[in-house]
Amino acid sequence: MPSKKALVRRPASSLAEGLVTHVERGEVDVDLALRQWEAYTDALRAHGWETVEVDPADDCPDSVFVEDTVVMFRNVALIARSGAESRRAETLGVEEAVASLGCSVNWVWEPGTLDGGDVLKIGDTVYVGRGGRTDAAGVQQVRAAFEPLGARVVAVPVAKVLHLKSAVTALPDGTAVGYVPHMDAPSLFPRFLPVPEPSGAHVVCLGGDKLLMAASAPRTAELYADLGYEPVPVDIGEFEKLEGCVTCLSVRLRDLYA
Ligand SMILES: NC(=O)NCCC[C@H](N)C(=O)O
């Protein structure tokens, strides 16, 4: 039976110093961010996900964006090596967490770089964004780690946004959903639905027809509802100021052995 666990990591007290690359820095309210994070994790639990907290890392401002530190394929965890040097120390607690859940653990090795936000899985196809955080060696290491397990890795150029998944994710039926002005190569996705808002392109499939998504994309929520999905909106405004989105606040573990 598939597992329904999700790694999450409490926001660091230093959250307000998180990186910004493609947006202007806005003031982050850390208390509000904590309340938004709690509501986000409540939404996961309300839909049957057991949340597993990685130990907090107060000296790593971006550590709440746990998705960037590890990529799962089946029960194999590939520990990332961020293209942002200031984020590299985040992986320590994550290694411990995935190992204690019984995952087989691999690492992206120097000089390769990879952020988990650049990896989008649709079935056995693993799209890897090659952009500001993930380099060619990182893409190659994803191939080496996952293709022997049956994955097909497709490299996708990413120049306009932080990560591949800043611009495109996927619905439960495998349709890619993306905000075209932020994409470099939409034609790489064989089944593709354009959405009208940047944050509408970010969905976390909660199970069945439920889609966790940002409250900042009401028109896209209407589009999904009209297609028979049930949007579950959460306000993650403080994380959006740091280029975060709903996907980056958790890592779902759906194929654990135990
Ligand atoms: N996967 C993601 O979308 N991660 C967001 C990371 C935001 C963080 N401030 C960063 O620049 O690394």
Amino acid occupying residue 119 = V
Give mean pLDDT, residues 25-46: 98
Q: How confident is the model at residue 230 (pLDDT cuts 50, 70, 90)?
A: very high
Q: Is residue 125 helix, strand or coil?
A: strand
Mean residue pLDDT of the chain comes to 97
Closest to 69 (Cα-Cα) out of 22, 24, 117, 34 = 117
* 221 touches ligand 1 (CB under 6 Å): no
Distance CA 173, CA 187 (A): 18
Q: How confident is the model at residue 257 (pLDDT cuts 50, 70, 90)?
A: confident
Distance CA 233, CA 124 (A): 28
Active site residues: 163, 248
Q: How confident is the model at residue 173 (pLDDT cuts 50, 70, 90)?
A: very high
Give the residues across from 149 on adjacent strands. none
Distance CA 243, CA 214 (A): 13
* 118 touches ligand 1 (CB under 6 Å): no
This model of the complex carries an ipTM of 0.98
Rounded to the nearest whole angstrom, what is the distance from the C-alpha of residue 18 to the centroid of ligand 1? Answer: 8
Q: Is the pLDDT confidence value at 85 over 70?
A: yes
Closest to 11 (Cα-Cα) out of 51, 45, 59, 47 = 59
Determine the pLDDT at residue 48: 97
Determine the pLDDT at residue 258: 66
Residue 73's H or E segment, with its range, is strand 70-73
Determine the pLDDT at residue 51: 98
**Model pTM?**
0.97
Distance CA 223, CA 143 (A): 34
Q: Is the pLDDT confidence value at 13 over 70?
A: yes
Determine the pLDDT at residue 2: 82
* 244 touches ligand 1 (CB under 6 Å): yes
Report which ligand 1 atom has the smallest distance to the Cα of 166. Answer: 3
* 242 touches ligand 1 (CB under 6 Å): yes
Please check whether residue 96 is in contact with residue 124, taking contact to mean a CB–CB distance below 8 angstroms: no
Determine the pLDDT at residue 32: 98
Taking the CA atoms of 55, 58, 60 and 61 in sequence, report the sign of the dihedral they define: positive
Among protein residues, the one with the nearest Cα to ligand 1's atom 1 is 117
The phi, psi pair for 168, rounded to 5°, reads -150, 135
Q: Is the pLDDT confidence value at 81 over 70?
A: yes
Please check whether residue 210 is in contact with residue 230, taking contact to mean a CB–CB distance below 8 angstroms: yes
Task: Kindly state the tokens that stand for 99.
Answer: 């190992």
